[in-house]
Amino acid sequence: MQAPAVRFRVDFGRHGAIGPGKIALLEHIGTGGSLSQAARELGMSYRRAWQLLESLNSSFRERVVRSATGGRGGGGARLTPFGRLLIRVYRDFDAELQLQAARSFKSIADLTRQKGARGVRGRRAAPIVRLKDR
């Protein structure tokens, strides 16, 4: 069997949400000290990275990142203590969640179908559409 992986985001109602994209962005900013570098490393546009950051900064009364060298594009950025707290709380929750999922879904995961056991073509039996299942 394969251990199940939980993909999740935490929604604070109208106040915003945090999920793997925003947390990864914060982590890369923490490591590299630069928003534009973090965006490149994550394969997202600078504009998209900036939007994620703005969303975080406007969701909470504490900023998550401060500009280190002024407003120039690609300027330095560093995490605030609150930004570091956000990462830590999220990652701790994530780790606990995955452990809990492995326990809770063991009986289910044991029953996943072994793809190798199916026909090679298998076009009719297999699901055709890749589901996003929102």
Residues binding a copy of itself (CB under 8 A)? 2, 4-22, 51-52, 54-55, 58-62, 82, 85-86, 89, 92-93, 96-97, 100-101, 104-105, 107-109, 111-113, 115, 125-129, 131, 133-134
The nearest distance, CB 33 to a copy of itself, in angstroms, is 23
3-state secondary structure of 41: helix
The nearest distance, CB 108 to a copy of itself, in angstroms, is 6
122 dihedral zone (left: phi>0; alpha: psi -120 to 50; beta): left
- Cβ distance to a copy of itself smaller for residue 70 or 127: 127
Q: Which amino acid is at 68?
A: A
Count of all residues that appear for the chain in the document? 134
The nearest distance, CB 122 to a copy of itself, in angstroms, is 9
**Which structure tokens are listed for 110?**
């044991």
Cα 27 from Cα 111, distance rounded (Å): 36
- Cβ distance to a copy of itself smaller for residue 1 or 68: 1
- Cβ distance to a copy of itself smaller for residue 120 or 129: 129
* Measured torsion, CA atoms of residues 30, 32, 36, 38, in degrees rounded to the nearest 10: -70
The nearest distance, CB 76 to a copy of itself, in angstroms, is 21
Q: Are 68 and 57 in contact (CB under 8 A)?
A: no
- Cβ distance to a copy of itself smaller for residue 73 or 107: 107
